[in-house]
Structure 1
Amino acid sequence: MTETITVTTWHLEQTAAAEVVPAAAPDGLDLRVVRAELIGPEFARFLYTAVGGPWTWTDRLPWSYAQWRDWLAQEGLETWVAWVSGTPAGYVQLEPHPDGEVEIIYFGLLPDFIGKGLGSHLLALGLDRAWDLADRHPALPPTRKVTVHTCSLDGPAALPTYQSRGLRLTRTETTHQPPTPPPGPWPGA
């Protein structure tokens, strides 16, 4: 019999820009959050593995260079990167859908930056950018809803951070899957 683990997935949303709860930037950090306007597959995959490695983000590890390139080329997909003293510290990635929904497809911090108050600030900024996405991409419909999901494999602060920034829980799912060790930021790490 194959061993399985229970994974709980939480789906959250906002339906108005006024629901975003701001969070000030943490004191004492040389912080800049910048939109990566020319992001390529190499940097996107770096962010994905560096942030998601400890939390078992594996769905995009098998993607080819062409798959990354094509996904990044979609109209309105935005990646906002937090830089601390010139070092990438985390990111929030926004994926628009044709119906006006904007999904926070990926969000998180590199391990050395967790617990410094940076996550709440970056998430609030990402939510603000999700709500004004159509201003930067006129071909998109206005944002009508912002969504995100997280699961029990993510960091323990993920769900409380989303809720503290004004996202509401809309659905919970429980599944069973085989255990997968976190891949780390590169194979075998």
Structure 2
Amino acid sequence: MSTTTLTTWSLEMTSPTDLVPSVGVPGPEIRIVRSEVPSPEFSRFLYTAVGGDIHWTDRLGLTRAQWAQLLGRPGVETWVIYDRGTPAGYVELDPQPDGVVEIIYFGLVPEFRGRRIGGHLLTVGIEKAWSLAERWPELSPTRRVWLHTCSLDGPAAMPNYVRRGFKVFREETEPYEPTPTPGSWPGA
């Protein structure tokens, strides 16, 4: 395989007033619900369903115990968007020291992309990141929300982040050797 270039952008918000909510709220068939019981199986399903075609591989080798440990930390939250009862995507929040919250995962299952629900899910995810300490009093109040995206993500990812009010604070480029994507069914 030939080597190509991978660009990774880190983006941030430093105030809840930076958020520019998506326009329009989807109809009643769309719901966003917090997955309150940490479930490695459900989280792994979401991870592979959303990221399988865009090279999300960093968690594929984790054991069930490692997934449980990651999900069981105070303040880690998974918010799932449903379309008529079917999981369509998710946002996972990861609290870090000193009031920093990373949107560590965000995305839609391929069949639900392009339906104008990603902006709504991201808006809710950002709002939940800013209010995380209200649900987890042991955490410091949120003072910064950040995420990263890369040139392997879908073409709507970066424009969605910028429209919601995120600002790029770092850009890194490195050589990358593409490999086949694992898809939603790794090993199948």
Q: TM-score, structure 1 length as denominator?
A: 0.96
* 1:9 corresponding residue in structure 2: 8
CA distance in structure 2 between the partners assigned to 1:7 and 1:161 by the alignment? 20
Shift of the alpha carbon at 1:26? Answer: 2.8
- SS of equivalent to 1:180: coil
**1:113 aligned to 2:142?**
no
Q: Deviations over 1:74-119 (max 9, x none)?
A: 0000000001100000000000001211000000000111001100
CA distance in structure 1 between the partners assigned to 2:19 and 2:50 by the alignment? 23
* 1:131 corresponding residue in structure 2: 130
- SS of equivalent to 1:99: helix
CA distance in structure 2 between the partners assigned to 1:3 and 1:117 by the alignment? 35
CA distance in structure 1 between the partners assigned to 2:84 and 2:57 by the alignment? 29
Contact 1:11 1:169 in 2 (8 A): yes
Contact 2:38 2:72 in 1 (8 A): no
CA distance in structure 2 between the partners assigned to 1:61 and 1:143 by the alignment? 29
**1:25 aligned to 2:25?**
yes
**1:59 aligned to 2:58?**
yes
Shift of the alpha carbon at 1:25? Answer: 2.1
Shift of the alpha carbon at 1:188? Answer: 4.1
- SS of equivalent to 1:120: helix
- SS of equivalent to 2:38: coil
Structure 1 gaps of 5+ residues are none
Computed over aligned residues only, the root mean square deviation of the Cα atoms, in angstroms, reads 1.1
**What residue identity is the alignment partner of 1:178?**
E
CA distance in structure 1 between the partners assigned to 2:183 and 2:77 by the alignment? 24
Structure 2 gaps of 5+ residues are none
Q: TM-score, structure 2 length as denominator?
A: 0.96
**1:43 aligned to 2:42?**
yes
CA distance in structure 2 between the partners assigned to 1:25 and 1:180 by the alignment? 37
- SS of equivalent to 1:108: strand
**What residue identity is the alignment partner of 2:39?**
G
